[in-house]
Amino acid sequence: GAGVSQSPRYKVAKRGQDVALRCDPISGHVSLFWYQQALGQGPEFLTYFQNEAQLDKSGLPSDRFFAERPEGSVSTLKIQRTQQEDSAVYLCASSLRGGSNQPQHFGDGTRLSIL
Amino acid sequence: DAKTTQPPSMDCAEGRAANLPCNHSTISGNEYVYWYRQIHSQGPQYIIHGLKNNETNEMASLIITEDRKSSTLILPHATLRDTAVYYCIVRANSGSARQLTFGSGTQLTVLP
């Protein structure tokens, strides 16, 4: 389909390992968002890109979290030296343009489990 | 962004209309009301949004009170597949993209 695609769907890693999560937004969408969703809670904002520019990273919980979108399309969220509290579902969303009248469309997320 | 208040859970009989309320008494004049839903193990799904006027699309209707302090999402003929957590979100009207701030939502259970 033409929706937001995230991979892998599930990721299990040992504490201390680095992980990389991929997001393919809807083609042509300028804005891209990453969210983190803990079990039983609503998604929480991590970071936002407009094209290749990272305009807001205020939600990243620590400097172990790093996101990039080098060509303004695919984005990768990297977590270094993972810890158990990083276990969550990581959601990616994209919207056609900037502006709050543009709905965000979400992928089904990557479920990350840190052992 | 203004805070929203939703009941934690609701039940609805299959085939009946589901009316999900949301209070947003501190909403300002330039803030949109958005509704999303999240079915288990899936990402949030956009349903509808509005500013002042009532809105309708193929999924639902959004009724916003005249003072804009509350709204209701209406699913006209609920099916079992509409069982999900429904989130009401108020989002500032900004020329730059803004993140969504999710609350706890309403768990809607459609009963056979």
pLDDT tens digits, one per residue of A48-87: 999 999 999 999 999 999 999 999 999 999 999 999 999 9
Of all residues in chain B, the one with the smallest CA distance to A96 is B97
How far A91 CA sits from the closest chain B CA (Å)?
7
Give pLDDT tens digits for B33-91.
999 999 999 999 999 999 998 999 999 999 999 999 999 999 999 999 999 999 999 98
**pLDDT value of position B94:** 65
Give the distance, in angstroms, between the CA of residue B72 and the centroid of all CA atoms in the same chain. Answer: 7
| Contact state of A99 with B92 under an 8 Å Cβ cutoff | no
Check CB contact of B99 with chain A, cutoff 8 Å: yes
Does pLDDT of A100 surpass 80?
no
> Is the bond preceding residue A70 a cis peptide, omega within 30 degrees?
no
| Contact state of A100 with B98 under an 8 Å Cβ cutoff | yes
pLDDT tier at B30 (50, 70, 90 boundaries)? confident
More confident residue, B97 or B48: B48
In angstroms, the Cα distances linking A62 to A72, A83, B6, B36, B100 are 24, 11, 31, 28, 20
**pLDDT value of position A1:** 54
Of all residues in chain B, the one with the smallest CA distance to A101 is B93
Q: Which residues of B touch A50 (CB under 8 A)?
A: 96-97
Residue that is written with structure tokens 């989130």 in the block: B87
How far A56 CA sits from the closest chain B CA (Å)?
9
Question: With 0-12 CB in 10 A as exposed, 13-18 as middle and 19+ as buried, what is A9?
Answer: exposed
Q: Which residues of B touch A35 (CB under 8 A)?
A: 99-100
**pLDDT value of position A101:** 84
